[in-house]
Chain A
Amino acid sequence: MFALTVPELDEAVILPSTLSTVDTVEEKVTEYAQKAGFDEDTASQIAMVSREAAANAVLHGNKKDPNKRVKARFTLTPDSLLIQIADEGTGFNPADVPDPLSPEGLLRPSGRGIFLMRAIMDEVNFRELSPGTEITLVKHRNRE
């Protein structure tokens, strides 16, 4: 999944299954997106969808289980910013998430997180772990 180039920055952290993790990921991604040279609006959008990935890991993956951890990795290569978030949950099939743009989906209060990730990032990839799910978000640099 990672580009075969030497990263400029690469950092991995292990975080608790609490909502503080969502804020930590947002702060870290904002820092990396700024270093990557994205404009303020794009950096904000990347940070926002990274929050979504972290929130999914904490709430839906690990279900706030204090014995489970969220692993986050932030990598800046010459080409891209990559954000990986992994939980230790029972896994899920992203294809099962209903379309939030369907007439019935529009008025649903939840279910827009993955859609927003796909709308804002250049690549969104899911990988099944045992146990858990890993999501990789990629935004290419200099392709505004």
Chain B
Amino acid sequence: MSMHVKLRHVGGVTVLDLSGRITLGEGSIGLRDAIRDALAAGSKKILLNVADVNYIDSAGLGELVGAYTSVKNAGGDLKLMNLSKKVKDLLVITKLLTIFDVKENEHDAIAAFA
């Protein structure tokens, strides 16, 4: 039910592989903690891989916005990749797709940080 985060470093980019649900409660707090830890470790280029996120609610959307704002405020850059149709539809409805830099795959996303 909750969200899991795996962290990788690829070409100077911190990749957070998210899986599960980003929802009110543990799911959204898990993302917040992961972003905070990545920023504290000095990461400025953060890529959220949401390929295995199968569910997101408005609290989860709020956490994505919070992640974007935190990284921007720290002088960094945050991108999303591998959006499922379900997640993409939600970002379209809420117009958040106009805020986030979304890439189709990891190769394009990593290249876009350069």
A residues contacting B by CB (< 8 A) are 19, 22-23, 41, 44, 48, 51-52, 55, 100-101, 106-110, 112-113, 115-116, 119-120
- Alpha-carbon distance A22/B57, docked complex (angstroms): 11
Considering only CB atoms and an 8 Å cut-off, how many residues of chain B contact the other chain?
25
Q: How far is the CB of B90 from chain A (nearest CB, A)?
A: 8
Q: How far is the CB of B84 from chain A (nearest CB, A)?
A: 10
Q: How far is the CB of B20 from chain A (nearest CB, A)?
A: 14
Q: Judge whether B86 and A106 touch: CB under 8 Å.
A: no
Secondary structure of the A contact surface, majority rule: helix
- Alpha-carbon distance A113/B85, docked complex (angstroms): 20
Interface status of B5 (Cβ within 8 A of chain A): no
Q: Judge whether A113 and B95 touch: CB under 8 Å.
A: no
Q: Judge whether B58 and A52 touch: CB under 8 Å.
A: yes
Q: Judge whether B57 and A107 touch: CB under 8 Å.
A: no
Task: Identify the closest chain B residue to A51 (Cβ).
Answer: B57
A109 in contact with B55 given A19-B24, A100-B94 (CB within 8 Å): no
